[in-house]
Amino acid sequence: MARVLVVGSGAREHAIAESFAKDNSINKVYVSPGNDGIAGTFDCFKYDAKDKNEPFAELYNYIQEKKIDYVFVGNEQALADGISNYLEAKGVSVVGPTSEAAQIESSKVFSKNLMKKYRVPTADYAVFNDYNEADAYLEKCSYPVVIKADGLAGGKGVIIAKDQDDAKEALRVIFFDKKFGEAGSQVIMESFLFGEEASIFAFSDGDSFVSTLFSQDHKALYDGDEGPNTGGMGAFAPVDKFLHLKDRVDAEIFAPVFRGLKSEGMPFKGVLYAGLMIDGDKINVVEFNCRLGDPEAEVILPILKTSFADICEAIITKKIDGFELEFNNQYAVGVISASKGYPEAFERGKPIYFGENLSSMQGSIYFAGVKKQGDAILTNGGRVLCATAIGDSLQEAINRAYEMTECVQFSNQYYRTDIGQKGLKD
Ligand code: AMP
Ligand code: GLY
């Protein structure tokens, strides 16, 4: 029986904690820092990272005190900040890469150079440290061009410029207004990829890997994929129409990238997220992330038949070789309820009402931006919660996820009404 700690504070970490809690081999699940919604079910511990030299010292003390067997890291910032390096040096087992291997997400330049060197298909690109050189490149590149800040920017560091004027403005806000802070001191410009996006994860122990089914995020704010990009307004899994591409993704993308990271002296141990652009039989990597996706985790984990704890233990004990993943023959749909105004300004502090019927529905509410006041749960973020439901068909999962979403109400609630619809077509 193991005691496990999940690091992170969003709906993804709530879903991860629930996956562990369902597992017979886990007897206690802690979340750090978690949030007031997650704290309704799991013990949450807010650590103080004030000592910049040792930001995870308090967390380590908590791990010792609670006799935690291993740590699963949900979010990229902690990984980029070296949580795995720190805890592993102290003898704690961690599912999550070192900060060196996490550069696959924390530095787009690192990630693109790695893909090029190990021949992983991705958009052609150029790297710039200097505004004038970047500006000169705008004369000869083709449009639309995609401009990306190098560092972590919470999924917002990407600008798609339709013409030279747009691109000039993008460079100005990155280099001069420092819109993305230090993350924008280096910039990538890459060619625009056409097609449909999908996400897939691989669990790796540094030597071997095993990949999941595909899921699909809905990044745009409005129905029909219109409006600004967000952190994700909902997701569904599996994506049947891409299933036939899974072996190719393993061979052409995951195998060379894990081999590459190992050859570079930074084997990747944890969950690698590949964001793909698929256009007919062309598959390109848009991005890698060094952790599970949010909201993709909320739909992949509930349909996983294999014990999540077994996967984590296989990663820690280096037994992924030959490990097979099984999924339920079902669909999951997750609908995000956000605060109106997100991803720009929005109001917080709205009480959330949970309808009576909610407890009899088959599914889960995963909390993200919420806080507790007395007995009430109030909104406290742009993305407030994710209602996830499972069904024997995608349509059934969609219907159930929306029934749940309608059962949860707050005054400035906003959600997309077409999550999963893409999966019903072709
Ligand atoms: P990233 O942070 O690199 O995942 O980019 C965020 C989003 O921008 C992606 O999910 C895509 O929707 C879009 N994007 C990024 N790169 C490209 C590209 N080369 N072509 C088309 N869309 C892109
Ligand atoms: N769903 C996108 C991400 O997790 O980065």
The Cα 99–Cα 79 span in angstroms is 6
In this structure, the answer to whether residues 372 and 260 fall within a common structural domain is no
Name the residue with the closest Cα to ligand 2, atom 5: 293
- Residue 62 inside a domain? The answer is yes
What is the pLDDT averaged over residues 9-32? 97
Q: Are residues 181 and 215 in the same domain?
A: no
Question: In the structure, how many helices (H) and strands (E) does the chain have?
Answer: 14, 24
In a domain, 321, yes or no: no
For residue 121, tell me if it sits in a domain: no
CATH code where residue 94 lies:
3.40.50.20
Q: Which atom of ligand 1 is nearest to the CA of 148?
A: 3
How does the average pLDDT of the chain come out, rounded? 95
Task: Give the residue numbers spanning the domain of 312.
Answer: 195-316
Q: Is the model's pLDDT at 323 over the cut of 90?
A: yes
Q: Which has the minimum average pLDDT: 94-103, 146-155, 239-248?
A: 146-155
Q: Are 201 and 300 contained in the same domain? A: yes
Q: Regarding beta strands 383-391 and 408-409, do their DSSP bridges make them parallel or antiparallel, or are they unpaired?
A: unpaired
For the Cβ of 112 lying below 6 angstroms from any atom of ligand 1, the answer is no
136 and 37 in a common domain? no
Q: DSSP labels for 58-81?
A: HHHHHHHHTT--EEEE--HHHHHT
Atom of ligand 1 nearest to the CA of 190: 19
* pTM attached to this predicted model: 0.96
Within a domain: 413: yes
User: According to DSSP H, which parts of 242-392 are helical?
Assistant: 246-249, 255-263, 296-300, 308-316
Which residues are within 8 A (CB) of 136 and not within 5 positions of it... i.e. 6 or more apart? none
Instruction: Tell me whether residue 111 is in a domain.
Output: no
The answer, yes or no, to whether residue 156 has pLDDT greater than 80, is: no
Instruction: Give the span between the Cα atoms of 227 and 219, in whole angstroms.
Output: 9
What's the number of domains the chain is made of? Answer: 4
Between these two residues, 228 and 70, which has the higher pLDDT value?
Answer: 70
What local confidence, expressed as pLDDT, does residue 426 receive? 65
User: Do residues 37 and 79 share a domain?
Assistant: yes
Q: With a 6 A CB cut-off, is 76 part of the ligand 1 pocket? A: no
Tell me: the pLDDT tens digits for 35-53? 999 999 999 999 877 777 7
Residue 197 has pLDDT above 70, yes or no: yes
Same domain, 199 and 293: yes
